[in-house]
Amino acid sequence: MNYKQPIGKIKETIETTLDRVFGVSLENATDEQCYKAVALTVRDLMARGRSEFMAQAEKSHAKQIYYLCMEFLLGRSLRNNLYNLGIEEDYRTALSEMGLKLDALYDQEPDAGLGNGGLGRLAACFLDGLATQGYPATGYSLRYEYGIFRQKLVDGWQTELPDFWLPGGKIWMQAVPEKSVEVHFNGHIEEYWYNQYHVVNHKDYTKVLAVPYDMYVSGMDGRGISRLRVWAACSPEFDMKLFNSGNYLRAMEQNAMAEVITKVLYPEDNHLEGKSLRLSQQYFLVSATIQDIIRRHLFRYSTLDNLPDLVAIHLNDTHPVLAIPEMMRIMLDECGYGWDAAWDIVTRTIAYTNHTVMNEALECWNVELFKSRLPRIYQIIEEINRRFCAQMHERGVDGYKVGRMAPLNDGYVKMANLAVASCHSVNGVSQLHSDILKDRVFHDFYTELPEKFTNVTNGIAHRRWLNQANPSLAALITDLIGDGYIHNAQELEKLKKFQDDAAVLKKMAEIKRGNKVRLSNYVKKELNLSLDPDSIFDMQVKRMHEYKRQHLNALHILSVYQRLRENPGEDFTPHTYIFGAKAAPGYYFAKQMIRFIVNLGNTINNDPLVNKKMKVIFLEDYRVSLAELMIPAADLSEQISLAGTEASGTSNMKFMINGAVTIGTLDGANVEIHDSVGDDNIILFGMTTPEVEALKRNYNPRTFFNSNPVIRKAVDALNGGFSGVSFSDIADSLLNIDPYMVLADFDSYARAQKKAETLYGDRCTWSRMCLINTANAGRFAADRAIREYASQIWNAEPVPEKGAAKHSSARK
């Protein structure tokens, strides 16, 4: 589809939309109304493009890709879609002629509250990559009314506020109420035989209506358009009898209890009600989704026998794994399939990506809770478990090993085990992570079913994180090597020939400084704090968690502060330490880590003895639009998780493509970044994964505390605290548990930081390192990851382009 329109047509469409939808003229319209009018015009363009693309997909019988994830961290949509469709400058011109500024309209859009961390951002990048590569794809998630939360720091303590994103964000969503489906909870199972058929009825269940809303994500040049279908929960009916009898609250309560399912992303689950709600969210997502997929397929083909040939369903982490028993339920109870035939179809259709090595993230559900909330699904999992264990016993597998692999054991439904036992493919998201899955997390499965395991290293939407977030650098790259890298990120390698070109290195350094000034202006506005754009901008932005080790970074900052106070004349490269992260609401230790960083920063920033040399800032409410401002400004990218704990990381890839140098451990995708850039263009420290495993057997953090006076002094200072707050709980954890070996890696990290300061002092060397990082970032593009999923896991081909299809027919 050609998305180009005459400037006059664009202006006419926007003005007509303002009049018909908002009832205002251009002269009286607010910026918010103008943003919404523009969004509606772009949404309509993409809806037509999606329709045309899918017609071509159906004509060629291209395999449909369905991507299930509890979150899609989209950020803002307007700029991304205008850029990808190649019409950003046309709209800029049209709006300018209307007396409007496109950048001002961009700022009217809230970040979509549909995701939180790297898992959701990866899913969003994959929708972009699927569309650009020409695969017919639909993502499925929930329409969260409040998203995760809006973070407000009060005296350094994270406070969670509702994220009212829908008023400005829902303009991108198109309700499709005619595609609504029912999802059933609770009740009991009635079984009997009728004419030699085993009949299962689900009785006295609670009904919740799933209403779909569609958003569109454009691929580059609009070749393909991905759809994100998100489900909103509501009560299917209003109990008029209950209301008329005077039970007004009970009548309203039914609707409220249904709607709570899609109120908030990741509700706190450190209590029974929270666990029940999370389980309900997960089943609500998969039940609505699988019903939708099967209904669409049956409408077109009238059979499910060919489903594995025409459909690939992908489970992004453990949250949507209940899709497996739900699909079995539909095929057994509603489509009349026998177990063996249904199981064959389900297992050849569904694949699973694991995103963690953390035991707490390999979800397990208490049997009693599960059985009461999802009785029929539990019954099906029991049968999956029985058959899987029998199969393993028949193969002569040891009973203890079978128990460790069982989807149902020790009073828990084990979601990761259910996924690995059922799916035809299981992949990790970096080479190291995939090796750990085989060697440790799923070792029992790997020894029995090695053919299931593969690796697809994560990737990012490089057009968003380079071309849109860092237009000055993108313009320089285009001038140097052309624009081929926009479609094929591997072409960034052509930059290597400029690694000794002083003029190019100087220009890159100027662009980086400009981005640092832009971020400094934001910090001045938000925090009334002045930053030195010539200092090292050392950045750590990601979810706040002990395994990410923000407290290692902060403990080192504290040690530097102590050293500079004792030696104020010491030669020290000015350093600005920048953090951004949210902690899970019930994760006390992570919230204390935030408080420690904020209070330490306040102490340092207000100390005239050192604040010309170092500053520490924590930017609240970290989100995609803020990341797009921060990441291009970074000199140093902190990727400092304990080796063997990070699955991949994607912030490391975003920093890398923007010319930041990684300081990190050999963990996750850092291993492959190191392979790409070599020893001289990354700053490594810390233990390797085998060294971590060896030390774990008899690790005593006090050994490092007692032998290192710098550590001892910094940890002791935690007990005294900052800004009147003691952080003795952090000190106690480091001294008595230290589960992520902060003290063991501290000395190596401190040396790596000194090395970074030395390298930064040689600006030519540093700029060369930055260029080499950008030049080697192409392998971490989402486009490449999607091609690997398609060839290795989905067995899918892109929709033929119209010209190519005609040409092919002509040859025939």
pLDDT tens digits, 317-353? 999 999 999 999 999 999 999 999 999 999 999 999 9
- pLDDT of res. 543: 95
Could you tell me if residue 228 is inside a domain?
Answer: no
β-sheet bridge partners, residue 744: none
Residue from 543, 549, 551, 575 carrying the catalytic annotation: 543
Q: Pick the catalytic residue: 542, 545, 582, 779?
A: 542
How confident is residue 257, by pLDDT bands cut at 50, 70 and 90?
Answer: confident
Q: Are 564 and 613 in contact (CB under 8 A)?
A: yes
The pLDDT assigned to 199 comes to 81
pLDDT at 803 over 70: no
- Give φ, ψ of 427 to 5 degrees: -130, 150
564 with 571: CB under 8 angstroms?
no
Residue 750 maps to a domain: yes
Average of per-residue pLDDT across 466-490 = 98
- Catalytic residue flag (residue 438): no
Which of 433, 548, 549, 613 is catalytic? The answer is 548
Q: Which of 452, 654, 768, 784 is catalytic?
A: 654
Q: What is the pLDDT of residue 810?
A: 28
Q: Which is nearest to 39 in space by CA: 108, 86, 115? A: 108
Mean pLDDT over 204-219 rounds to: 95
Q: Quick one: average pLDDT of 364-377? A: 96
Is 43 part of a structural domain of the chain? no
Alpha-carbon gap, residue 363 to 262, rounded angstroms? 20
Residue tagged 């899709």 (tokens): 323
Residue type, 176: V
The CATH number that applies at residue 564 is 3.40.50.2000
Residue that the structure tokens 């938000």 belong to: 526
Q: If we measure between CA atoms, which residue out of 84, 174, 79, 98 comes closest to residue 129?
A: 84
DSSP 72: -
Helices (H) and strands (E) in the chain, counts: 36, 23
- Res. 415: pLDDT tops 70: yes
Average pLDDT over residues 557-577: 96
Mean local confidence (pLDDT), 134-138: 98
Residue 540 predicted with pLDDT over 50:
yes
d(CA 118, CA 343): 32
CA nearest neighbour of 414 among 375, 382, 454? 382
Residue range 81-91: mean pLDDT, rounded: 97
225 forms bridges with which residues in the sheet?
218
Which range among 3-17, 85-99, 265-279, 670-684 shows the weakest confidence by mean pLDDT? 265-279
DSSP letters, 403-435, are: HHH-SEETTEEEHHHHHHHH-S-EEESSHHHHH
Contact yes or no for 642/692 (Cβ under 8 A): yes
Q: Is 781 helix (H, G, I), strand (E, B) or coil?
A: strand
Least confident of 218-232, 261-275, 449-463, 795-809: 795-809
The confidence band for 191, taking pLDDT boundaries of 50, 70 and 90, is confident
Q: Does the pLDDT of residue 251 top 90, yes or no?
A: no
Domain assignment present for 349: no
User: Of 239-253, 535-549, 675-689, where does mean pLDDT reach its minimum?
Assistant: 239-253
Q: Is 355 a catalytic residue?
A: yes
pLDDT confidence tier of residue 193, bands split at 50, 70 and 90: confident
What DSSP line would sit under 316-333, residue for residue?
ESSTTTTHHHHHHHIIII
- Phi, psi torsion values for 541, nearest 5 degrees: -130, 120
Average the pLDDT over 593-603 and give the result: 98
Q: 1: pLDDT confidence band, cut at 50, 70 and 90? A: confident
pLDDT of 468 strictly over 50: yes
Write out pLDDT tens, residues 143-169.
Answer: 999 989 999 999 999 999 999 999 999
- Nearest residue to 430 (alpha-carbon basis) of 354, 362, 321: 354
d(CA 512, CA 534): 10
Query: What is the widest separation between alpha-carbon atoms in the chain?
Result: 92
Paired strand residues for 182: 209
Dihedral sign computed on CA atoms, order 396, 398, 404, 407: positive
487 carries an active-site annotation = no
Domain count along the chain: 1
Can 13 be counted among the known catalytic residues? Answer: no
Tell me what pLDDT residue 807 has: 33
Active-site entry in 262, 645, 650, 774: 650
Q: Which of 482, 509, 506 lies closest to 495, judged by CA?
A: 482
**Average per-residue pLDDT in the chain?**
95
For residues 208 and 251, give the distance between their C-alpha atoms in angstroms, rounded to a whole number.
15
Query: pTM to 2 decimals?
Result: 0.96
Q: Within 13 Å, how many C-alpha atoms sit on residue 744's CB side?
A: 23
The secondary structure of 105-118 as a DSSP string is HHTTPPPPSS--SH
User: Is the predicted pLDDT of residue 644 greater than 80, yes or no?
Assistant: yes
Is residue 690 one of the residues assigned to a domain? yes
Q: Is 542 a catalytic residue?
A: yes
Average pLDDT of the segment spanning 533-561: 98
- The answer on pLDDT for 805 being more than 60 is no
Q: Place 520 in a pLDDT band, splitting at 50, 70 and 90.
A: very high
For residues 707 and 702, give the distance between their C-alpha atoms in angstroms, rounded to a whole number: 8
Contact between residue 374 and residue 286 where contact means Cβ atoms under 8 Å apart: no
Q: Which residues pair with 618 in a beta bridge?
A: 579
- Residue-range definition of the domain harbouring residue 756: 492-778
pLDDT at residue 760 tops 80: yes
Cα–Cα distances in angstroms (integers) from residue 648 to residues 180, 466, 661, 678, in the given order: 36, 20, 17, 18
Share of the chain above pLDDT 90, in %: 91
In-domain check, residue 206 = no
Q: What is the mean pLDDT of residues 633-643?
A: 98
Gap between the Cα atoms of 718 and 27, Å rounded: 58
Query: Is residue 251 assigned to a domain?
Result: no
Residue 563 CA from chain centroid, whole number: 38
pLDDT score recorded for residue 515: 98
Q: Report residue 239 as tokens.
A: 């109990």
Tell me what pLDDT residue 554 has. Answer: 98
Q: Is residue 518 part of a domain?
A: yes
Q: Give me the pLDDT at residue 248, please.
A: 64
Q: What Rg, from alpha-carbon coordinates, does the chain have?
A: 27
